[in-house]
Amino acid sequence: MRRTDRHTEIHFNPGPCIHFPMADPGRALAYLFMALALLTVPASAGPQVLAGTIENDAVAVYSLPGLEAGETLTVAMNRTSGNLDPFLAIGGPEVLEEEFRERYDRTVETALAHATDPLVAIPAIADDLFYAWDDDSGTGYAAALTWTVPESGDYVLLAAGTPMEDTSGDYEVTLDVTPPRREGGVAVPDRLTGRVGVAEVTGTLTANRTSTFFTLADLFPGDTVYAYIETTGGDLAPAPALVLADYGDKPVRSANLLAPAKNASLQYTADSETRGSRLTVSRNPAADPAAESSYRLLVGLNEPAVLAGTAGPGGRTVILPPIVVKAAVELDQITDVDQKSENYGVVANLMFTWKDPALAFSPDTCHCPYKIYRSVEDFVKAEGTRWPEFSINNQQGNRWTQNRLVQVFPDGTATYFERFWVTLQAPEFDFRAFPFDTQHFFLRVDALYPEEYFVYADWEGRTVVGTQLGEEEWYITRYWTNVTSTRIENTFSRFSFDFEAQRHLTYYIFRIFAPVLILILLAWVTFLLRDYGKRADVASANLLLFIAFNFTIAGDLPRLGYRTFLDSVMITTFIVSGLVVIYNLYLKWLATLEQKETAEKIDRVMVWFYPFAYLIGLVVMIWIAP
């Protein structure tokens, strides 16, 4: 018989096969009595094997009742999954009392206050509190001990992860006693080692999000899932519907579908090991589509009190929470800003970190402090396909990757690093203030798994912008990160890296504004001439130069449906220069009519109005801008 905290297996051994020769009835009768004698002698029970799971710093407790003085216990604890570093201890019944826990805490605090090394203090505490204990005497990090019972009585076996380490996972304890017992096991699992747990969730369904689902922890044969849901907030609408499905999304139980009520429940007992079961909560068809539906959900593992809605949360993990993926971007270089195509190229590093218990491992399996995968393909092949796959939403064309690296630590923490070059779309360019504009650039990273599996978060302090971006025209004024959600049937998490940049104005000042100003002043100086024809020639030449400037500027920008600030400047120069040409020709006409004095009087006024004409024209152009 093999007793575990997951299930019980009973093995029948029919014993030796005995043949009865019919030719000798006396001998056959003797054989029959011999066989009956063999069957009535109890066989040795052999080693007892117990299995379980250590999570959330829990301790598995096994009672050792009725041990006899002089018996020798041989105990071994091995990790079977995760990064569990096994730890075994044998104590008296007092280890289950609250006073023992308080004594342990006080002893640890006192020892650490006077000891320089906690790695020395903890073993001394264990020697003082337990009859026997072990950490690494087995193979690798496995625990193993042999202990002789000093006096008859009841004892307790503790199985846990090594103190001061964040380890968890499945384990197997093998326990044997000398001299061997004829029947029954040595250890009896305490209730604390049972697979019992309750999770409580509250939420709201809306017209935009009509359903959600929860992934359940692994189920083993005999495990029973209980679920209870009710409306909250005084809403008279029926509670959401529940559907429990297996790993293939095949429904196995449902509640509140055909006869909607304000609360409903379901239960399901697994007949085989099941991974990836999902409990879906969806808006009830009888509910008002426009109204919000608030609910309270209880999900229990082997806890029938859930059906009444009275069970409190605690115990084993029942619902696997979404994995939080912290994201960051290191912007190293802006290779190009194509204003006509409204995109830009960057060289950057994208980094993720997340913790998934399924990735946990024990360092003694590889004799390494962490694992390195130099491609995503290698990581998926070794660890499975469940990783936070993503897509860059505003990517244009290929993303050229220099290298990718995945690092996995024993506690299940993983980091992903990718260095890449890519062209990104920037559809929010606004050139109205060009060249004094501030433009918004961004990188959108979308998760490919719904938020029920992975949720992005900001990796604080890791997003940075390089000091030498290599883009001479622009300089970044500020940057920030943001996490939002997008919805396409399901809800997906989105990580955004945004930054704003302004132009270096040196180019525009010395290549455009300064020459334009010189040309305007040059035209103004010609007002000192009395040869109105020469003045008209200069103004006409300026007009041609302004047109050339306009074509140069237009080559850098897309064909916009609105005017920029520089457009307003150039249009003003066109208009004023054109009016100056007309004005000088008019004065020349007056001079030919022997009205030169009249022309000079007008000119004495206009020579001072000329510079203001540009200011007035620019203000008008900006004011009437769309």
Residues 545 and 617 in one domain: yes
Q: What is the mean pLDDT of the chain?
A: 82
Q: Identify whether residues 424 and 349 lie together within a single domain.
A: yes
Residue 243 pLDDT > 90, yes or no?
A: yes
pLDDT-based confidence at 618, cuts 50/70/90?
A: confident
Give domain status of residue 149, yes or no.
Answer: no
Angle at 479 between CA 478 and CA 481, to 5 degrees: 155
Q: How many CA atoms lie within 13 A of 139 on its CB side?
A: 4
Query: pLDDT higher for 99 or 619?
Result: 619
- Assess whether 605 and 456 both reside in one domain: no
pTM (2 decimals)?
Answer: 0.76
User: Is 316's pLDDT higher than 60?
Assistant: yes
Helix (H) / strand (E) element for 502: namely strand 490-503
Q: Which residue has the higher pLDDT, 415 or 524?
A: 415
Let me know whether 358 and 409 are in one domain: yes
Q: What is the pLDDT of residue 194?
A: 59
Last residue of a domain, one of 268, 294, 320: 320
Number of domains in the chain: 4
Q: Kindly state the average pLDDT of the residues 469-494.
A: 89
Give residue-wise pLDDT tens across range 36-76.
Answer: 333 333 344 578 888 888 876 678 888 888 888 999 999 99
Residues 339, 313 share a domain: no
- Which comes out higher in pLDDT, residue 614 or 116? 614
Query: Which has more confidence, 273 or 592?
Result: 273
Residues in the chain: 626
Compute the radius of gyration of the chain from its Cα atoms.
41
What confidence tens digit (pLDDT) does each residue in 183-217 have? 656 777 654 455 788 999 999 888 888 899 999 99
Give percent of the chain with pLDDT exceeding 90: 35
- Do 554 and 425 share a structural domain? no
583 has a pLDDT exceeding 70: yes
CATH code for position 354:
2.70.170.10
Quick one: pLDDT at residue 332?
93
Give the span between the Cα atoms of 58 and 38, in whole angstroms: 45
Q: How confident is the model at residue 182 (pLDDT cuts 50, 70, 90)?
A: low
Domain assignment present for residue 148? The answer is no
- Best-predicted range by mean pLDDT among 24-38, 173-187, 479-493? 479-493
**Model pLDDT, residue 138:** 87
* Tokens linked to 303: 């806890």
Most distant pair of Cα atoms in the chain: their distance: 163
Task: Give the DSSP letter of residue 600.
Answer: H
Kindly state the average pLDDT of the residues 10-14.
30
Task: Report cis status (omega within 30 of 0) of the bond before 240.
Answer: no
Residue 20 has pLDDT above 60, yes or no: no
Are residues 353 and 388 located together in one domain of the fold? yes
Question: Is 101 a member of any domain?
Answer: no
* Per-residue pLDDT, 25: 41
The CATH number of the domain where 282 resides is what?
A: 2.60.120.380
Higher pLDDT, 95 or 3: 95
Sequence-separated (6 or more) residues with CB below 8 Å from residue 257: 241, 243
In a domain, 126, yes or no: no
What spatial distance separates the first Cα and last Cα of the chain, rounded to whole Å? 86
Helix (H, G, I), strand (E, B) or coil at 298: strand
Q: What's the average model confidence in pLDDT over 459-473? A: 87
What pLDDT sits at residue 13? 31
Q: Which of 167-181, 401-415, 511-525, 582-596 has the highest mean pLDDT?
A: 401-415
Which residue reads 């055909």 in tokens?
258
* Domain with 470 in it: 323-503
Band of residue 115 on the pLDDT scale cut at 50, 70, 90? low
**85 assigned to some structural domain:** no
What pLDDT was estimated at residue 45? 57
Same-domain pairing of 466 and 510 = no
Q: 28-37, 78-87, 108-117, 608-617: which range is least confident on average? A: 28-37
Give the torsion through C-alpha atoms of 30, 33, 39, 43, to 10 deg. Answer: -70
Measuring CA to CA, which residue among 411, 412, 413 is closest to residue 162?
411
Q: Is 26 helix (H, G, I), strand (E, B) or coil?
A: helix
Residue 289 in domain? yes
Judged by phi (left if over 0) then psi (alpha if -120 to 50, else beta), residue 589 lies in: alpha
Q: What is the mean pLDDT of residues 470-476?
A: 82
- Residue 386 or 111, more confident: 386
pLDDT of residue 269 exceeding 90: yes
Whether the pLDDT of residue 24 is over 60: the answer is no
pLDDT for 185 equals 64
| Cα dist from 283 to 203, 242, 287, whole Å | 12, 9, 7
One domain for residues 442 and 591:
no
**Domain assignment of residue 596, yes or no:** yes
**Are 625 and 563 spatial neighbours (Cβ–Cβ below 8 Å)?**
yes
Section 557-566 average pLDDT: 81
pLDDT band at 118, cuts 50/70/90? low
Asked if 297 and 423 sit in the same domain, the reply is: no
pLDDT at position 626: 62
Arithmetic mean of pLDDT, 99-105: 72
Poorest-pLDDT segment among 21-25, 79-83, 238-242, 394-398 = 21-25
Instruction: With H, G, I as helix, E, B as strand and everything else as coil, classify residue 282.
Output: strand
Q: Are residues 496 and 512 in the same domain?
A: no
> Is 586 within the bounds of a domain?
yes
CATH number of the domain residue 524 falls in: 1.20.58.390
Average pLDDT over residues 388-407: 94
> Do residues 475 and 541 both lie within one domain?
no
Q: Which of 487, 503, 519 is the last residue of a domain?
A: 503
Percent of the chain past pLDDT 70, that is, above it, reads 88
* Residue that terminates a domain, selected from 286, 320, 354: 320
pLDDT above 80 for 301: yes
Q: What is the mean pLDDT of residues 598-605?
A: 78
Q: Which residue has the higher pLDDT, 11 or 324?
A: 324
Burial per residue of 592-623, b for 16 or more beta-carbon CB atoms within 10 angstroms, e otherwise: eeeebeebeeebeeeeeebeebbeebbeebee
